[in-house]
Amino acid sequence: MSQLLASVTNVDEALIALENGADIIDLKNPAEGALGALSLDTIRAIVDSVARHKPLSATIGDLPMDPRLLLEAARETADTGVDIVKIGFFGREAHVECIHAMQTLTAQGARIVAVLFADEEPDFGLLPQLEAAGFYGVMLDTAIKNGKRLRHHMDNARLRFFVEEARSRNLLSGLAGSLAITDIEDLIQLDADYLGFRGALCASSDRKAALDPRQLALLADVLHSCNIMAKEFA
């Protein structure tokens, strides 16, 4: 069963997500990149409005692979009260060092999710190190938002390997990357823990546009129906 992660940019959108079928509410600023960060004040306001009703995740921004910088940003974000902090592992350099740096937070109980990028030749060999460092989960996304979706960069066999490897490492798994409603039927077969959406929930599929409650409700219904069908035919 895959849950629905909906990315939101403010309190109003978070409430829309809460009322229209999102399972996880993800706090992100699409205008600032793949994992653009909202201000800490905005994150706190959303936490005050939505916390305890649904799990909240938040991104720390499209930051360089500097262990100290990532640790500081992750700590500040965790201190807002969100349930999950998402960290992008861009490029190919210093990933191991950044993973090790996060052990300071994971040892204190912070739930950290690493985000790898399907359009940057991600190294799935990092998953054992994420497990050893106490990460909560790992997800796949796309770094460049140019209209190409996750499945343009990685076929179902490779995606299935990722999900199964994450599960074997006791890591929550997520799939995102300009996903459309038409991707759900195939991706649901992979049994990732959640599927992440932004553009598909907005008017004209523009990830920078406002969240559309009708789009979100429709997508939630489709995801729910596909989960039921997948369970029946399992």
Name the residue ranges covered by the structural domains of the chain: 3-232
How far, in whole angstroms, is CA 63 from its chain's centroid? Answer: 16
Q: Under CATH, which architecture does the 3-232 domain have?
A: Alpha-Beta Barrel (3.20)
CA-wise closest residue to 57 among 34, 80, 31? 80
pLDDT of residue 206: 85
Band the pLDDT of 230: cuts 50, 70, 90: confident
Active site residue 231: no
Q: Report how far residue 211's alpha carbon sits from residue 20's, in angstroms, rounded to the nearest whole number.
A: 11
The model's pTM is 0.96
Catalytic residue among 28, 54, 148, 231: 28
29 CB-near residues (< 8 Å, 6+ apart):
9, 36, 37, 38, 59
pLDDT of residue 158: 97
Active site residue 86: yes
The mean per-residue pLDDT over the stretch 108-129 comes to 97
pLDDT of residue 234: 61
Catalytic residue among 54, 86, 145, 231: 86
Does 48 have pLDDT greater than 80? yes
Does 232 have pLDDT greater than 80? no
Percent of the chain with pLDDT strictly greater than 70: 100
